[in-house]
Amino acid sequence: MTTVNVYEQRPASGAKAESSLHHADLFSLVGKGRKNAGVTLREKKLLGHLTLRGNGHDAAFAGGVHKALGLELPTALSMVANGDTSLQWMGPDEWLLIVPGGQEVASEKALREALAGQHISVVNVSGGQQVLELSGPNVRDVLMKSTSYDVHPDNFPVGKAVGTVFAKSQLVIRRTGDETWELLVRRSFSDYWWLWLQDASAEFGLNVIA
């Protein structure tokens, strides 16, 4: 029998959790953007990110994931969501689970219990990445400036998610609504992408919301 220790990585009392863009003081920019801005940015900070690996062709694995999360295992280049919880296909045997901040440990325990006895991996990667949400009528224009990937609605419907080159680097683009997109970014590149998005959105107007 294998024993796995699940550790709480979120700071408790005496330590302050900060997003990778805390220095940008986005809160001070809320409400100061152009009226009827074409692009609205929201930092979805301090969410829980878990990488899940297993055999997606195994009904027991898919069933265990559904039991633990209430979500069907998504297929290639897609994601499923229920409220603030989402599960995204990352590769043939890898998925990314994003949960509200503070629910990482409970979600990991639920997965390990539901998938007990199976060959799986669950890793908390919350500290290494975060999500930026872009919404508004001109988001697709900004995306077209930034990536060569085809973001036309016929090729990129709601629920699609892809890893691609963006602003000469790499990230994951997720379409979550008709005019709502998410960028899954590496924490160490957050400042670079924040500067890029300000420049790429300038002609349309950029509004920051909390």
Instruction: Report pLDDT for 5.
Output: 65
Closest CA to 191 of 25, 32, 38: 25
Please identify, in words, the CATH class of the domain defined by 22-209.
Answer: alpha beta
DSSP labels, 53-103: E--TT-HHHHHHHHHHHS-PPP-TTBEEEETTEEEEEEETTEEEEEE-TT-
* Phi then psi dihedrals of residue 62, to 5 deg: -60, -40
Give dist(CA 104, CA 118) in Å, integer.
20
Closest CA to 80 of 185, 176, 10, 6: 176
State percent of the chain over pLDDT 70.
94
pLDDT tier for residue 153 given thresholds of 50, 70 and 90: very high
pLDDT tier for residue 1 given thresholds of 50, 70 and 90: very low
Cα-based distances in Å from 35 to 18, 107, 111, 134 = 29, 40, 45, 16
Give dist(CA 85, CA 154) in Å, integer.
26
Instruction: Report pLDDT for 17.
Output: 84
Quote the DSSP letter at residue 33: S
pLDDT tier for residue 9 given thresholds of 50, 70 and 90: low
> Average pLDDT, stretch 78-89?
97
pLDDT in tens, 159-194: 999 999 999 999 999 999 999 999 999 999 999 999
Instruction: Report pLDDT for 181.
Output: 98
Average pLDDT in the chain: 94
Instruction: Report pLDDT for 159.
Output: 98
Bridging pattern class, strands 39-44 and 206-209? parallel
